[in-house]
Amino acid sequence: MDALDRARHDLVDRLIEADRIERQSTERAMRAVPRHAFVPDERREAAYRDRPLPIGEGQTISAPHMVATMTDLLAPDAGDRILEVGTGCGYHAAVTSDIVGADGTVHSVEVEPALAERARERLDRLGYDVHVHVGDGHAGWPNAAPYDGAYLTCAPESIPDTVVEQVRPGAHVVAPVGRRRQELVRLTRRADGGVDRESHGGVRFVPMRRSDS
């Protein structure tokens, strides 16, 4: 095990110690996915500190504890088909992909073509089966719906109905919501067509853009 691998396991140990990781599948994925391979070269040494990092085009990769929390809330299982909005560098998608495994699929929509292209190339090289699409996540990705879960890594003012409609009954949608003040929200689509909403505290994410703005 080299120094970066050891640093990753130390980080996961600290997150567990701080009760930031609940599910075993989340822990396994966070131990497995090399976050340092997703950040710019000059940031590699910082990859296993628990903080966000710039990834180019004015965007940031979330802090590891935030990826862990969102993954616990989404609660994906092996074999699931998951929708991500906001591919960024592809790290969070890789964590999800690790959990859903070879029988599952991750579809990820990214509005910024340069980021999508780099993430696609990187995920491919590292062997993650993630389908990266360029587009505005307000429309979700209808071609592969229905999903067993969906999450956004950019903050809309309210979670787009279109995305909620693309998950099956019983599935979760996890997203940061709001403008300046944001909260992490988990919606659960009910069988009767209604939606349950829980708040999971204050967060800070980049705003969700409209592709025409």
Catalytic residues: 62
Q: How far apart are CA 151 and CA 140, in angstroms?
A: 10
Phi, psi of 56 (to 5 degrees): 100, 160
The count of residues interacting with ligand SAH (CB under 6 A) is 24
**Dmax (CA) of the chain:** 51
Q: Which two tokens stand for residue 97?
A: 């992909």
Exactly one of 136, 144, 183, 200 binds ligand SAH (CB under 6 A); that residue is 136
Task: Answer yes or no whether residue 59 interacts with ligand SAH by CB under 6 A.
Answer: yes
For residue 207, count other CB atoms closer than 10 A to its CB. Answer: 14
| Residues in CB range of 98: below 8 A, 6 or more apart | 28, 29, 32, 33, 128
19 CA to centre of own chain: 19
Task: Answer yes or no whether residue 123 interacts with ligand SAH by CB under 6 A.
Answer: no
Which 77-106 residues touch ligand SAH, going by CB under 6 A? 85-86, 88-89, 91-92
Q: Which two tokens stand for residue 175?
A: 């997203």
Between strands 53-56 and 105-110, the pairing is: unpaired
Task: Answer yes or no whether residue 176 interacts with ligand SAH by CB under 6 A.
Answer: no
In the complex, minimum distance from the CB of residue 155 to ligand SAH, in angstroms, rounded to a whole number = 9
Nearer to ligand SAH, 73 or 115 (CB): 115
Nearer to ligand SAH, 59 or 105 (CB): 59
Nearer to ligand SAH, 126 or 206 (CB): 206
Do residues 80 and 148 lie in contact, with contact meaning Cβ atoms separated by under 8 Å? yes
Task: Answer yes or no whether residue 137 interacts with ligand SAH by CB under 6 A.
Answer: yes
- Footprint of ligand SAH on this chain (CB under 6 A)? 55, 59-62, 85-86, 88-89, 91-92, 109-112, 115, 136-138, 153-154, 206, 208-209
